[in-house]
Structure 1
Amino acid sequence: MRSVSKVTPASGELVQKDSNRAVLAVNSANGGSQDGLLKPRFRAPNSLIFRFYLFLEGRLWTTFISALTVFALFGDDLRVAVFAMSWDTFFDSVSLLALLAFTTELVVFTIAKPKYFRSFYFYLDILATVTMISDIGFIWNTILEAAFASGTTGNSQEAIDAIQASRVGTKSSRIVRIVRLVRLVRVVKLYKVSNRDNAEDISTENPSLVGKKLSEKTMQRVIAVVLSMLIFVQLFDVGMWTSEAPHGTYGLNHLHFRFQRFKANMEAYGDNFTQYLEDTTFGFKSEIEFYTRGIEGGRLLYFRLHGATDEENAELIQIAKETVWYRWPEEHDVPYMARTSANSDYEPIVEIKSSETQVREELRESEFETSYAVECYEKMMDTLDESNTTCSSYAYFDIRAEVKLAAGLNIIQTIFVMIVLTFGSLMISADAEQLVIRPIERMVRSVQELAENPMGTKNAALPMETTDDDDETVLLQNTIAKIGQLLQIGFGEAGSEIIAKNMSNNAGIEPMCDGVKMEAVFGFCDIRNFTDTTECLQEKVMVYVNRVGAIVHEATHSWYGAANKNIGDAFLLVWKMNDTKRHVDAGNMCDNALVAFLKTMIDLKRENGPGGCLNAYKDHPAIRKRFGENNFEIRLGMGLHIGWAIEGAIGSHYKIDASYLSPNVNMASRLEAATKQFRTPLLLSEDFFDALSSKARKRCRKIDRVTVKGSIQPMGLFTCDIVDFPDTFGEPQYDGKRRLMFDFEGPEMDFIQSSLPENFLSNFSDAVAAYCSGDWAAAKRMLDNVLVEKPGDGPTLSLLSVMEEFDYESPSNWKGYRELTEK
């Protein structure tokens, strides 16, 4: 199949310009070379042969070669069946042009086209090109005459000419039968040309390499089987190895013998040939009349008898002309009648020619058949004279009807073979397409999508539902889909680059690669009382952790985050800044992280309640014994921080984890640990708070200013209060197909903070400001008022306990912040 192969991006691609010119564009940006699937067989892309090759692959040449191929398939048969002999020169010229075009294409493709030389289509193209010679009359006839000219030495020139013509006619008829069948390989050339445009537009469907190979191999097998069957079945026909006597052979032998006897007795008439012809005893006229009437409805065109002079043979021909077959008028049932004299009222079935030259001028070589007789007889005897081999007579017979019928049948046969090749290929490849190619292409597509966007196809290649009738390809396809999902789940967002690099790399697995510096929001969650719970639940603790993890992960992924690490009772969550794949900017990503954690707390509260997936743990005997009746509730501590980190693989070739290394990740963990001191489920760093939108910042409050262990840089700590818990919160909303960002001034935020006193946030903010400035007495008064408004407020109690240690007077070295004593 003539095709334009797809080239890897590193090496180049064949593109179509101006609809008729193929150009090889080499991508050298990455140091690529012409080592792709379409690398020419020569090293000079600007050479004349290369430009000529591109021209041959273009649309103009494709159209031209398509027309010549159709002509090569049907032209010779149409010439014989429809057109007069005067058209032969035109058909020979076009056939010669086709031979030159096919030869040129064959030579150029052999030099330039990759994987063409010695391929399946290379040999078929050679065969199709060589058989074009049989369609060029003046070349083909010369070849046949030269091939069968030997083996007739010792005879007169007349005998040699007759025998040679007969041999050429008899033996060449067998060759032509084979050549006509072999010519059917041109159907393959038409198939290649017709599929060239589809192959050039390969980027539309982008089939897999195995799919293309299997389709091509299937077509090759169908072509080989059909053509082999047509050719070799003919070889097993007896008619290929035996020859029937030509028209009128028996009658010509009789005439040949009788005329020699006739000439031997002509001396009695004084060599008066005309008088002797009328003799009833030895006369020859009746022999001619009988022979002419017996030639199957009048197919005789011309004859020449041994021993007759030109004048005598002309007289014999005239007798035959007066005894030809004539057609009856249409009202008669019989097709023809014999006349003993010419009658202009009726149409002769065939016109006997006056000379051999007239036969050859008016009929093609293939339209008449030659019969001959070469035996010499002893004078006045019926026995052969074996010492003399110079006697020869011959006759020409009209076979135009058979030739036209054969040409018409050849056209039908060619069309039939084209139909068989087309539908045979489709039918044979249909099952392979459905059972092998399509499943493989789906698997390849899944792998390619996984390599291009490791985290973008998590739901695109779900396993198919299987039945007992499914074959191994369905099982393999499902297995690849599951492996892909396990890779995505196992490596997570941090491992996307590792997956992409190794899936697109043809070399071995290389999990250890350089990390990538990136900016992200890091969230850390920890399950409270986990040690006690593990002792109570034992082996059931895995399901317990996974149920909590499902709540955390679902909320995170709902708001553009990604789960990274699951460390026993803790979860590391990540929101990448400037997420170009999902078109979320940095400010909105911080809002998303805050919404996700608020949603996590609300969903956890709901699942702890009646009917929730976590409610049953309250009734677990060991839980009730350890925590008391109805005193158990699953709670989380959470911290959010923003900063840089190195994303990559951590470990060795034995085991790796895709994660993040940075002090900012540790900061998120310390914030989560500090939630216990501040008696609040959520802590936000000052950097994270500053990155929030103005609407989101209004919903948060500053609760302290501290330095954490391992850092001397003071930072503010913030939280966001949830006072009222709705059934649902933070469900993604859409405007058509566009995802809407969460509205921090909307009804959902109003609801969860609806029970806060009207001036609670401003009053608490004033108290924290007094605390940081060192006016702890004023801070205590204001915090006491806050407790009246919101009894049991954790951050308020935490600040009061800190000031209580110093009797509500700030230390002399107070700098407006304190050091956290725990990680």
Structure 2
Amino acid sequence: MFSTKIVNTASLARAGRASRVGTRAGRVFKVVRLIRIIKLYKSAQEQKQKVTNQFEQELEKKKKKIQEKYKLVNMENEIFQNNNNQTINKDNHKNNKNKEVNKNQEQQQNIKTQQNAIELQKNQSENELNNIYETNLKESRVSKKLSDLTTKRVIIIVLLLLFIMPLFSADYFYDLPASLDFQIEQFLLMTYQKTCTHEDIKQSFDNIIILMSNLDNPLIYFKTPFQFTNFYKDQNFESLRLQEKIPYAIYFDVNLYSQSHPEDIDTIYYLKGLSNDELYFEAFLSSRKTAFFASALSLGRTVFVCIVLTMAALLFSKDVNDLALRPIERMIEKVNQIARNPISVKDQELIMNLDDQYETTIIENAIIKIGTLLALGFGEAGSEIIGSNMAKLGDIDPMIPGKKKYAIYGICDIRNFTDATEVLQEDVMLFVNNIGEIVHSMVDRYMGAANKNIGDAFLLVWKIPEDKYSFVSDNIIKYEDYEYLSMYADFSLISFMKIHCKLNREPKILAYRSDKRLNRRMPNYKVKIGFGLHIGWSIEGAIGSEFKIDASYLSPNVTMANRLEAATKSYGVPILISSDIHDLFSERKWDLAVKLFEEAILLKPEDCPTKNKLKFIREYNGICPKDWNGHYVFNE
């Protein structure tokens, strides 16, 4: 029974060595094949790109030929139609026979039929081209980059596993112990020799035990069929598991021993009394040490595979996150930001990485551009329209109800604009934009916003934050932070003063003073603007229909600002301010101004502008003079 389960380990060892050589050769062959596959893949990709480029070129040529064909057919049809129309007109004019008219009508019908056939052929050709183009659609840059990175990473991981995984096998460090098999075989052959005695057998038995007990796989059990040899059994033999015992067995032929030792009658008689299962040289080696090492390697292999899989998952997820998910998240965040605060999108910067212009980057930049154009087109008054439609699901609803706001309204009107338009013609757009750049930049610098441009007029708004005021009743305002409103009032006036000054200093604006066309119509021409400033409530919302809307403010207070600006022409002043906003201006610190001007005069007594300012303050800090008409001109 035991003999049927024991394998000749020597033959196994030789087969194992041969198999390891074959395995290593197979690994080298696999690596060579893998490198060849990589080269073939690159070649296939290049060939695919080349075929795609050729197809696109052929597609463009085919489109051009079809377009040229349709142009020629249309030209022939137009000529034929004109000739027929002329024939019909002549026939109608001369009142010729009805046969000619019927003939022309038939020809017209044939032309229509031919045109319908041509149109049908055109549609079929376009559909065919579209189908061909869709089937050969070029792979996107994101998909191509992602597939390339994935392929490279998979190849690296496979190569890493091919080279590293054999190191986690115990067979890589230990060979099957064949020395015991060889010694037992030699021991058996020695017993068949005529010169072999009992002492020689005992001595060889002891030598095998001594030699094999100090190996990595020590001898733990050894038994022979002879009755005169000792039975060897290690104390740890019973504690070892079956998987930790390496068995060896060689059959002992009693007939051969009888032929070589006919005089050893007792031994022969004893051996012949044994069963076939007992006529074996039996030995066991302990594989506990190698099993422990193999278990440690198996644990290390598991940890290594986990690390490789974790790193692979992180790398793959990193590629997907960098190329797809994070750009999508940024797009979502930008859309949400537009919904929360549409005006803030103007401050976002475009992604200017020209090396990697992926489709996601293009879409992300497009969202920023669209949001910026929306903010520029609708302005602050339209931020509610943009935000509400971006935040909610469903169809677009631009006609949302208006909201009551409290704001400062400024109107700027360009003087002599009608004459300037007639003189400048196409250049009037550049003229208005140069002025608009100054107006808008100064207003934006001082917390305001440009609402709309109406030819020669600009509507400017300083919208007061809702937490700085409250409506006690319909049109009665309660100020929650008077100093904050006073600051806004100062900003509105300062921005108008800055605009007025900059119009007289900006080189682009000063150039119009020497424009011959303007001076021919208006001698000594200067760019002048009238300003009107008022504060009050208004209704902010969309004006128009589903075809076109304008975000603006409707209120008598906006009309009042417009009337104040119109009155500047009658009063001959550049700016008029209502009493409501005048009362909100910050405290006039005349004494501090006088002190500063006096210190300046002490440093430079001949400074005439400082003297004039000091004189102006002293005169107008008290009661207004009798001839006061709302403005003062420095003549000195």
TM-score (norm. length: structure 1): 0.45
Cα distance, 1:224–1:788 mapped onto 2, change above 3 Å = closer
Structure 2 counterpart of 1:302, from 220, 225, 240: 220
Q: Give 1:483 shift.
A: 3.5
Task: Please show how residues 452-601 of structure 1 align to structure 2 within 5 Å.
Answer: 452-456=340-344, 458-459=346-347, 461-463=348-350, 469=355, 471-472=357-358, 478-505=365-392, 509-578=396-465, 585-601=484-500
- 1:254 matched to 2:185? The reply is yes
Deviations 1:618-653 (A, max 9, x none): 22232122112x2x1122222222222222333444
Q: Give 1:560 shift.
A: 0.9
Q: Could you say which residue in structure 1 is the equivalent of 2:505?
A: 606
Q: Is the 8 A contact 1:159 1:391 kept in 2?
A: no
Q: Could you say which residue in structure 1 is the equivalent of 2:127?
A: none
Structure 1 counterpart of 2:570, from 673, 677, 682: 677
SS in structure 1 at match of 2:411? strand
* CA distance in 1 between partners of 2:559 and 2:433 (Å): 23
Q: Is the 8 A contact 2:191 2:257 kept in 1?
A: no
- 1:279 matched to 2:210? The reply is no
Cα distance, 1:645–1:291 mapped onto 2, change above 3 Å = same
* CA distance in 1 between partners of 2:331 and 2:628 (Å): 62
Deviations 1:345-384 (A, max 9, x none): xxxxxxxxx34x62343x6777x5402337575754899x
Q: Could you say which residue in structure 2 is the equivalent of 1:758?
A: 619
Q: Is the 8 A contact 2:533 2:561 kept in 1?
A: yes
- 1:230 matched to 2:161? The reply is yes
Task: Please show how residues 424-823 of structure 1 align to structure 2 within 5 Å.
Answer: 446-456=334-344, 458-459=346-347, 461-463=348-350, 469=355, 471-472=357-358, 478-505=365-392, 509-578=396-465, 585-607=484-506, 612-628=507-523, 630=524, 632-695=525-588, 758-759=619-620, 762-763=623-624, 782=626, 785-786=627-628
Task: Please show how residues 37-56 of structure 1 align to structure 2 within 5 Å.
Answer: none
Q: Give 1:228 shift.
A: 9.4
* CA distance in 2 between partners of 1:306 and 1:652 (Å): 110
Task: Please show how residues 138-537 of structure 1 align to structure 2 within 5 Å.
Answer: 156=1, 226=157, 230=161, 246-248=177-179, 250-251=181-182, 254=185, 278-279=197-198, 284-289=201-206, 291-292=208-209, 295=212, 298=215, 299-305=217-223, 307=225, 315-317=230-232, 354-355=233-234, 358-361=236-239, 368-373=244-249, 379-380=255-256, 394-399=282-287, 402=290, 446-456=334-344, 458-459=346-347, 461-463=348-350, 469=355, 471-472=357-358, 478-505=365-392, 509-537=396-424
Q: Is the 8 A contact 1:588 1:692 kept in 2?
A: yes
Equivalenced residues, count? 457
SS in structure 1 at match of 2:460? strand
* CA distance in 1 between partners of 2:611 and 2:449 (Å): 27
Q: Is the 8 A contact 2:543 2:550 kept in 1?
A: yes
Q: Give 1:494 shift.
A: 1.5
Q: Give 1:597 shift.
A: 1.9
Q: Is the 8 A contact 2:218 2:285 kept in 1?
A: yes
Q: Give 1:554 shift.
A: 1.8
Identity of aligned residues (%): 35
SS in structure 2 at match of 1:455? helix
Q: With a CA cutoff of 8 Å and minimum separation of 6, indicate the structure with the bigger relative contact order.
A: 2
* CA distance in 1 between partners of 2:224 and 2:297 (Å): 38
Q: Give 1:488 shift.
A: 2.4
Q: Structure 2: any 5+ residue segments left out of the alignment?
A: 10-18, 20-141, 260-274, 469-480, 591-608
Q: Is the 8 A contact 2:412 2:565 kept in 1?
A: yes
Q: Is the 8 A contact 1:757 1:789 kept in 2?
A: no
Q: Give 1:285 shift.
A: 2.0
SS in structure 2 at match of 1:458? helix
Q: Is the 8 A contact 2:181 2:248 kept in 1?
A: no
* CA distance in 1 between partners of 2:555 and 2:484 (Å): 22
Q: Give 1:527 shift.
A: 1.1
Question: Higher mean Cα deviation, 421-430 or 638-647?
Answer: 421-430
* CA distance in 2 between partners of 1:277 and 1:753 (Å): 139
SS in structure 2 at match of 1:625? helix
SS in structure 2 at match of 1:613? helix
Q: Is the 8 A contact 2:185 2:250 kept in 1?
A: no
Counterpart of 2:415, as a letter, is: R
* CA distance in 1 between partners of 2:624 and 2:169 (Å): 114
Q: Is the 8 A contact 2:246 2:286 kept in 1?
A: no
Q: Give 1:564 shift.
A: 1.0
Q: Give 1:493 shift.
A: 1.3
Q: Give 1:453 shift.
A: 3.0
Cα distance, 1:305–1:548 mapped onto 2, change above 3 Å = same
Please state which structure has a larger fraction of its residues in helix: 2
Q: Structure 1: any 5+ residue segments left out of the alignment?
A: 1-155, 166-173, 175-210, 266-275, 318-353, 699-747, 765-781, 794-823
Q: Give 1:536 shift.
A: 0.7
Q: Is the 8 A contact 2:533 2:581 kept in 1?
A: yes
SS in structure 2 at match of 1:646? strand
* CA distance in 1 between partners of 2:563 and 2:306 (Å): 77
Deviations 1:456-483 (A, max 9, x none): 4533x2335566x453466555544444
Counterpart of 1:537, as a letter, is: L
Counterpart of 1:627, as a letter, is: M
Cα distance, 1:788–1:656 mapped onto 2, change above 3 Å = closer
Deviations 1:227-252 (A, max 9, x none): 896389859999999x9754446337
Deviations 1:755-810 (A, max 9, x none): 5892598446xxxxxxxxxxxxxxxxx5xx447996899xxxxxxxxxxxxxxxxx
Deviations 1:508-559 (A, max 9, x none): 6554433332211111111111111111111111111111111211221121
TM-score (norm. length: structure 2): 0.56
* CA distance in 2 between partners of 1:569 and 1:763 (Å): 35
Cα distance, 1:287–1:441 mapped onto 2, change above 3 Å = same
